[in-house]
């Protein structure tokens, strides 16, 4: 399988998704695109999964983006009106969901960037709420150097996440930046040694999964919605999202746990 989907017993409520094509730089071929899209749909539909972690297999590349031998030629043939195979067609049809471009995962995502993140790999990282990387990782959006438009998340999400000038530096120069630079401009939360990458990401996921799931999902949703709203509408929508949570059993459980000096046990109710 080009994508591994795991629900580690020692990390309840956490899904671990691994792009597993290290011999091909974890590039996204049609099969991998379909498998990723399937993993995201499974997570989005599950009330039991409270946080997801995405990483790449191996110690060199997180994801090199679209497979230049398979996916890109198929996309070019399709654009010219030529015939593609059924697997190629299904893979191309899965691109937006696979890259989480316009597909709402409804669940917090943490990226554990184990190596170079290029093009579609960069797009996947942009869809994550938290990002951990190794110092050896590099980051690049190389589409304009290939005569292509970045149609994943880059032109939509990147200018909303980092300053304008840094976004255009990545988009128009099409040159890689180091992990240290990515941390400096706000693309990453932290850098950790390779041996600590997955444990750190899973520890963060455990912390999120231990919080009240309805509140976590509503907060994630609210931040994404409110970004595009004028201030008055944002405050109104914030109250609409927050009001129902105050009447939940989880909110009452949190209050009891505080008074009883114990950890709350949330049920998503």
Domain positions in the chain? 3-209, 212-260
Place of tokens 């990401």: 201
- 154-179 average pLDDT score: 96
Res 68 pLDDT > 80:
no
Q: What percent of the chain has pLDDT over 70?
A: 99
146/265 Cα distance (integer angstroms):
51
| CB of 211 closer than 8 Å to CB of 203 | no
pLDDT recorded at residue 251: 85
Q: Please, is 185 exposed, middle or buried when counting C-beta atoms within 10 Å of its C-beta (0-12, 13-18, 19+)?
A: middle
What is the DSSP code string of 171-190?
HHH---EEHHHHHHTTS-SE
Banded model confidence at residue 70, pLDDT cuts 50, 70, 90: confident
Q: Label the pairing between strands 61-63 and 116-118.
A: parallel
Which residues, including other chains, have CB under 8 Å from residue 248's CB and lie 6 or more apart?
Answer: 212, 214, 269
Look over the chain and give the mean of its residue pLDDT values, rounded to a whole number: 92
Which CATH superfamily hosts domain 3-209? 2-enoyl-CoA Hydratase; Chain A, domain 1 (3.90.226.10)
58/50 Cα distance (integer angstroms):
26
The structure's pTM equals 0.92
pLDDT recorded at residue 84: 72
- 50-62 average pLDDT score: 96
pLDDT recorded at residue 1: 83
Res 73 pLDDT > 90:
no
97/241 Cα distance (integer angstroms):
26
Res 46 pLDDT > 90:
yes
101/123 Cα distance (integer angstroms):
8
pLDDT recorded at residue 72: 75
121/60 Cα distance (integer angstroms):
13
102/155 Cα distance (integer angstroms):
13
Note the CATH number of domain 212-260.
1.10.12.10
Instruction: Please tell me the least confidently modeled range out of 96-100, 120-124, 227-231.
Output: 227-231
Res 91 pLDDT > 80:
no
pLDDT recorded at residue 197: 98
End-to-end, the C-alpha distance of the chain in Å comes to 36
């Amino acid at each position: 399988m080009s994508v591994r989907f795991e629900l580690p017993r020692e990390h309840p409520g956490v899904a671990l998704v691994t792009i597993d094509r290290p011999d091909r730089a974890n590039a996204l071929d049609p099969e991998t695109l379909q498998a990723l899209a399937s993993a995201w749909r499974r997570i989005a539909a599950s009330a039991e999964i409270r946080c997801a972690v995405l990483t790449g297999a191996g110690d060199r590349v997180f994801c090199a983006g679209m497979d230049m031998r398979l996916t890109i030629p198929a996309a070019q043939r399709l654009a010219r009106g030529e015939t593609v195979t059924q697997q190629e067609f299904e893979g191309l049809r899965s691109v937006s969901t696979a890259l989480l471009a316009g597909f709402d995962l409804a669940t917090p995502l943490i990226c554990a960037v184990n190596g170079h993140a290029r093009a579609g790999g960069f797009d996947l990282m942009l869809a994550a709420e938290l990002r951990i990387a190794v110092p050896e990782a590099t980051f690049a959006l190389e589409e304009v150097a290939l005569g292509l438009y970045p149609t994943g998340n880059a032109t939509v999400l990147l200018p909303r996440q980092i300053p304008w000038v840094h976004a255009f530096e990545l988009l128009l120069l099409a040159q890689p930046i180091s992990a240290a630079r990515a941390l400096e401009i706000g693309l990453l939360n932290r850098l950790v040694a390779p041996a600590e990458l997955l444990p750190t990401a899973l520890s963060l996921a455990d912390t999120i999964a231990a919080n009240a799931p309805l509140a976590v999902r509503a907060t994630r949703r609210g931040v994404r919605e409110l970004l595009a709203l004028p201030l008055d509408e944002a405050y109104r929508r914030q109250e609409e999202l927050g009001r129902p949570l105050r009447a939940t059993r989880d909110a009452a459980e949190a209050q009891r746990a505080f008074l009883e000096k114990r950890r709350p046990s949330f049920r998503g109710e």
